[in-house]
Structure 1
Amino acid sequence: MAYLTRIPVGRIFGFWSRSFSSPIKNPFFSSTLSHVPSYKISTTAHYSSPSPSPPPPLSAAMNTQVFSSSSRWRPMCLYFTQGKCTQMDDPSHLEKFNHDCSKDLQVNGTDIEKKCSQNVDFLLVIDLEGKVEILEFPVLLIDAKSLSLVDFFHRVWHDTAQPFKEVMQQFEAWLSQHNLWEKEKGSRLTRAAFVTCGNWDLKTKIPQQCEVSGIKLPPYFMEWINLKDVYLNFYGREARGMMSMMKQLEIPLLGCHHLGIDDSKNIARVLQRMLVDGALMQVTAKRNPGSQKVEFLFENRIQHPSRQRR
């Protein structure tokens, strides 16, 4: 997650330029990603959040290394993440850049057996980046049963004049492709929930961007899971951000902090670890469609009184 007062935009753009094999011209394209097959969902029940339960004791799996990793980490090809890489047959390009988003999100099969049943089938990890307007929009689709990456949606752009409305149209097509949302019904997500690291992304930034772009706030952004609040109630200890959660869980950082696609993967790794430890993911915040007022559902939650944007 990136706040308005702390985004190192020059640093992000510098990393983007290194991750692309050529200068960015127009990262948008009209169709959804096709490199991962569509995942069908059999149920259409909507997600509801029960009251938070008392924090359980720390799991014995806390000190277990859950995630496997390769010997050498490589940055994602940001053309590939948007379905536009034209150098898939170039060995030097493939050696330099990663083209497998799931590579950093592997979970041991034996650890999956430790997790508890979830109220949703899929979890959508989102972590926006941008200074004044949103400049990076990454979403990872995680299967709540297998904990594996099903697919991802990713858009980056340098020019704030790029139409956010077009990004939302592409994102909605992607959601529909996975049967997570029905545009005709204009409803909330189907058997899925957004996962954020804090409230800023969906409480503050998405509504601001929709207003600037002259579009109505989509109904699927009306509720979300703030991973920091679930973390606090599950482990019984406070972690005020992604880095502190990773440090406490002894999960090494992969990639560039404040690059949205990398932060999303690291947040997903924290999510996977919590699920393996037995955490139940529950909606922590809901927006009233009429008043637009946000209700926080956990009495025990992370609060930042000095930073209202969070």
Structure 2
Amino acid sequence: MGSDPVSQVYEHFLLLDFEATCEEGRKIQPIQEIIEFPVIQIESSSFKECEQFHCYVRPTKRPFLTTFCTHLTGIECVDESENLSTVLEMFHKWLLHRNLIDLNGERTCPWILVTCGDWDLGTQLPSESEYKGLAIKKYFTEWINLKKAFAEALGYFPNSMSVMLRDLQIEPIGRLHSGIDDVRNMCSILKALALRGHIFSPTAKISKAISSTFPQRVSQKQLFRRKKGLW
């Protein structure tokens, strides 16, 4: 293991970990909704945090949190928060302010989103956006799954973030299933893998951005098959 992180293809990593509505022992209906939207920007030259975006999100289909959800995430109330459509607009403006995208939404430098698993950007955001008729920007369509990066670097696939922290001998920060704390722990894992000489590359993508702004019907069968968004 080196004392400095290896040089990377990307100048910035944006680590993201959604929390969503949930019920104990069953699939929430009609759809899971994002309730926490945390992102931390890391510079690849130092692997230090340079900025963060953090918003709670108000669900609109079932505008309340179950007791199980509150116990799991620590989120008690999102009544005064903005809805997902507004938070997505806020995030887009934040990217503009950070000079990470231009007015057309194109990247101005090499950066990529990083998640812990493929659920956040491969399942939750596309399915909720489709259900609500929201557009998905191009920068959400390709990402690094930190678990797959870990497997590439160490040779075996971790079942959870807790396994990665344990095996990399990293002391966990904060509360499990607090989105912002999860992202902070992901930052530590990202740096630890870079110190081991791992060069990060995209591990997943969806075929295209969703541009429709009109609600599309989602069958009950499709909803049933969507995975529950827990670790």
- After TM superposition, the score normalised by the length of structure 1 is 0.56
Question: Within the alignment, does 1:249 sit opposite 2:183 as a pair?
Answer: no
**Structure 2 residue aligned with 1:271:** 190
**1:121 corresponds to:** 11
Contact map agreement 1:230 1:281 (CA 8 A) in 2: yes
Q: 2:34 aligns with which of 127, 134, 148?
A: 134
Q: What is aligned with 2:92?
A: 172
- Shift of residue 195, structure 1, vs aligned partner: 0.6
CA distance in 2, matches of 1:175, 1:244: 31
Contact 2:14 2:112 in 1 (8 A): yes
Structure 1 residues 211, 188: CA separation in 2 closer, same or farther (over 3 Å shift)?
A: farther
1:167-193: CA deviations, max 9, x gaps? 011101110111111232x43573100
1:252 to 1:223, Cα distance in 2 relative to 1, 3 A: same
Structure 1 consecutive aligned stretches of length 4 or more whose deviation exceeds 6 Å: none
Q: CA deviation at 1:290?
A: 7.6
- The one of 208, 219, 222 equivalent to 1:289 is 208
Cα distance change on mapping 1:175 and 1:227 into 2, 3 Å? same
Tell me the alpha carbon deviations over residues 45-66 of structure 1, each in whole angstroms, 9 at most, x when there is no partner: xxxxxxxxxxxxxx4x6xxxxx
- CA distance in 2 between counterparts of 1:125 and 1:270 reads 11
2:19–2:178 Cα contact (<8 Å) kept: yes
Task: Please show how residues 1-310 of structure 1 align to structure 2 within 5 Å.
Answer: 59=1, 111=3, 113=4, 115-131=5-21, 132-157=32-57, 159-160=59-60, 162-184=82-104, 186-187=105-106, 190-289=109-208, 309=227
Equivalent pairs counted in the alignment come to 185
Q: What is the Cα deviation at residue 158 of structure 1?
A: 5.1
Counterpart CA distance in 1 for 2:194 and 2:186 is 12
Shift of 1:291: 9.9
Residues 204 and 183 of structure 1, relative CA distance in 2, 3 Å threshold: farther
Counterparts in 2 of 1:250 and 1:191: CA distance versus 1, 3 Å: same
- The 1-side partners of 2:108 and 2:166 are apart by 32
Structure 2 gaps of 5+ residues are 22-31, 64-81, 212-224
Q: Is the 8 A contact 2:99 2:108 kept in 1?
A: no
Separation (CA, whole Å) in 1 of partners of 2:150 and 2:6: 15
Shift of 1:222: 0.9
Give the conservation status (yes or no) of the 8 Å contact 1:254–1:262.
yes
1:208 to partner: Cα distance: 1.6
Task: Give the TM-score of the pair, scaled to structure 2.
Answer: 0.74
Does the 8 A contact of 1:188 with 1:222 survive in 2?
A: no
**Match of 2:169, as an amino acid?**
E
For the aligned residue pairs, the C-alpha RMSD in angstroms reads 2.2
Q: Max radius of gyration: which structure?
A: 1
1:189 and 1:209 map into 2 onto residues whose CA distance is 28
**Shift in Å at residue 261 of structure 1?**
0.4
Give the stretch that moved more between structures: 233-242 or 139-148: 233-242
State the partner residue of 2:28.
none
Q: Aligned with 2:123: secondary structure?
A: helix
User: Kindly tell me: are residues 183 and 212 of structure 1, through their superposed partners in 2, closer, same or farther at Cα, counting changes over 3 Å?
Assistant: farther
* Residues 259-310 of structure 1: per-residue CA shift (max 9 Å, x gap): 1000010111111111112111110012222899xxxxxxxxxxxxxx9738
Superposition deviation, residue 159 in structure 1: 4.7
d(CA) in 1 for partners of 2:109, 2:145: 19
Measure, in 2, the Cα distance between the counterparts of 1:205 and 1:221: 12
Would the aligned equivalents of 2:34 and 2:59 in 1 still touch at CA under 8 Å? no
